[in-house]
Amino acid sequence: LDAALTIFSQVGYDAARLNDIAKKADVTRGAIYHHFENKAGLFMALIDGADSVGNKGIEAAVQEGGTFIEIMSRILVYGMELMEEDRRFREVMALTLSMTGESEELRDYRTKRQEQTEQLVQSIAGFFQMGLESGELRKNIDPVIAARAFLAYQSGLNLLWKET
């Protein structure tokens, strides 16, 4: 996975070749196929790993409890700490934001990401609804729009981080 991340980060998904990844990992191309169906499967394993790390942080922020503002603040801080401290997470986020290309091989990936994003929006919208009900937010806020704005803010921070 580290070798794949290096190659994907250097040349992007479309230009990456399994031969180059195998050479970087000092394994055969067959060894890659033993673990992953294809290049898209390898790429998706990187994404799934980063998602798992990020989701654990969100779960921990929620489980600590507190007010809406406290929970959402912890989620933002955790995301920024991950960007600072976890090289793999940071590089995978850079890939997902700007280096996936439009390859037909990633059609399933894009569909899966859209579904996951919509689930995440609904989950975050539930938190915004909690903030509305507790009186921490103005009553005229649409929870779904606020959730999308929150995710856009996080993505923007990740993009800015990538540029520094």
pLDDT in tens, 111-160: 888 888 898 899 889 889 989 999 999 999 999 999 999 988 887 877 77
Tokens of 120: 């995440």
Amino acid 82: pLDDT: 85
CB 131 within 8 A of CB 69: yes
Amino acid 17: pLDDT: 93
Could you tell me which residue, 91 or 24, shows the higher pLDDT? 24
**Chain segment 7-62, per-residue pLDDT in tens:** 998 888 888 999 999 999 999 988 999 999 888 889 889 888 888 888 888 888 88
Task: Report how far residue 52's alpha carbon sits from residue 119's, in angstroms, rounded to the nearest whole number.
Answer: 15
Amino acid 161: pLDDT: 67
pLDDT band at residue 100 under the 50/70/90 scheme: low
Exposed / middle / buried, residue 21 (Cβ in 10 Å: 0-12, 13-18, 19+): buried
CB 68 within 8 A of CB 132: no
∠ at Cα 156 (56, 109), nearest 5°?
60
Task: Report how far residue 43's alpha carbon sits from residue 4's, in angstroms, rounded to the nearest whole number.
Answer: 8
Amino acid 36: pLDDT: 92
Interior/surface letters 89-122, b for 16+ CB within 10 angstroms, e for the rest = bbbbbbbbeebbeebeebeebeeebeeeeeebbe
pTM: 0.75
- What value does the mean pLDDT take over residues 103-110? 80
